[in-house]
Structure 1
Amino acid sequence: MTPAVIRTATLADVEAILTFWVTSAEGTDRRDDPAKVVALIERDPEALLVYELDGAVAGTVIAGWDGWRAHLYRLAVAPEHRRKGVARQLIAAAEERFKAFGAFRVDAMVLHDNTDAHPAWAATGYVMQEQWGRWVKHF
């Protein structure tokens, strides 16, 4: 068994990530649009983080930085790897990226109906902002 690693996605990962999102992400809308993922990687090569286990994608998160705010999107963990700390590790890696930019707050886009994900966000210190429908953590 190869140790797990968190790394940035490459263009060679696009199809595997899109396939992964179909089975592991809620509300996915990117399966038929690889150009958007390619554009993300080309524009910000460090934004899409991949949790790789035994050579396969087991988790992802997009850690977007617009120069002003830090945003988390597309946190997804393979069903067979959930509740094992994968999400926590991905969130921590994204937060380290943001801290290096000098960010002091990060928001996470989380579907209201994705109640399976809410405990993971709460466990990592995020709280829902009812007026905005997003989760925010100050650091």
Structure 2
Amino acid sequence: MAGDEMTEADRRTSTPTSGDGHGSEAWAPAVVLRRGEVADIPALLAFWAVAGENASRPADDATMVENLLGRDPDCLLVAEQAGVIVGTVIAGWDGWRAHLYRLAVDPGCRGQGVGRRLVEAAEDRLRTLGAIRFDAMVLSENALGAHAWAAMGYRPQDDWTRWVRPA
């Protein structure tokens, strides 16, 4: 392959990062979904500091993420591009309810379907476990998150309010 030319196989496994649909797209390596691993924890914490909802919740902690993965090794889905984390979602299942949280997408990758792919994979996982309904935890003031969830068919449930207390 000479210069910057891409083969047809490269195009099928890559993702356009911008362009007008008329051949001017800049191509990037494909986004791959996989489960999160304990070895990812430092990168996850750094990623969430940039891309996550960081208001109104306790600070992220490596031990807590390790405990999460120890309890349910398949719950954390990671989107990765060229070896770099570009998205996450946690698909929590307690045997009764299916909870989606920690949906975060790298600001430079938003609007490219990364969040939608993560949520669809999380829903598939939870449906396989027996889920009949999903809920997404979204901070009330997170307009960007609310827009993303609404675009995927989620709606606020007006007759519920989440009540919390520190452990």
Q: TM-score, normalised by structure 2?
A: 0.76
User: Displacement of 1:30 after TM fit?
Assistant: 3.8
SS of the equivalent of 1:75 reads strand
Q: Which residue of 2 is the match for residue 102 of structure 1?
A: 130
| Aligned counterpart in structure 2 of residue 22 of structure 1, from 24, 29, 49 | 49
3-state DSSP class of the match of 1:131? Answer: coil
Query: Which ranges of structure 2 fall in alignment gaps of 5 or more residues?
Result: 1-27, 163-167
Q: Which secondary structure does the structure 2 equivalent of 1:118 belong to?
A: helix
Q: Distance in 2 between matches of 1:128 and 1:86?
A: 22
Structure 1's consecutive aligned runs of 4 or more residues displaced over 3 angstroms after TM superposition are 28-31
How far the C-alpha of 1:3 sits from its partner, in A, is: 2.1
TM-score (norm 1): 0.91
How far residue 92 of structure 1 moved from its aligned partner, in angstroms, is 0.1
Unaligned runs of 5+ in 1: 135-139
Partner of 1:39: 67
> Which structure is richer in relative contact order (CA contacts within 8 A, separation 6 or more)?
1
CA-CA distance at 1:130 after TM superposition: 1.9
Q: Secondary structure at the match of 1:116?
A: helix
What is the CA distance between 1:101 and its match in structure 2?
1.1
* Structure 1 residues 133 and 116: alpha-carbon distance in aligned structure 2, compared to 1, 3 A threshold: farther
Identity fraction in percent? 50
Q: Find the aligned partners of 1:116 and 1:66 in 2 and give their Cα distance.
A: 28
1:58 corresponds to: 86
Please state if 1:4 is matched with 2:31: yes
CA RMSD of aligned residues (A): 1.3
- Is contact 1:18-1:30 (8 Å) kept? no
Q: How does 1:61-80 map to 2 (within 5 A)?
A: 61-80=89-108
- State the AA in 1 paired with 2:138: V
Which stretch shows the higher mean deviation, 114-123 or 57-66? 114-123
1:118 CA drift (Å): 1.1
Tell me the equivalent position of 1:113.
141
Question: Residues of 2 paired with 1:35 and 1:47: CA distance?
Answer: 16
State the Cα distance separating 1:133 from its structure 2 match.
4.5
Counterpart among 117, 125, 130 of residue 153 in structure 2:
125
Which structure has the greater CA radius of gyration? 2
Q: Count residues with an aligned counterpart.
A: 133
Distance change in 2, residues 1:85/1:133 (3 Å):
farther
What are the Cα deviations for residues 64-114 of structure 1, in whole angstroms up to 9, with x where unaligned? 000011000110001000011111001000000011012110100000100
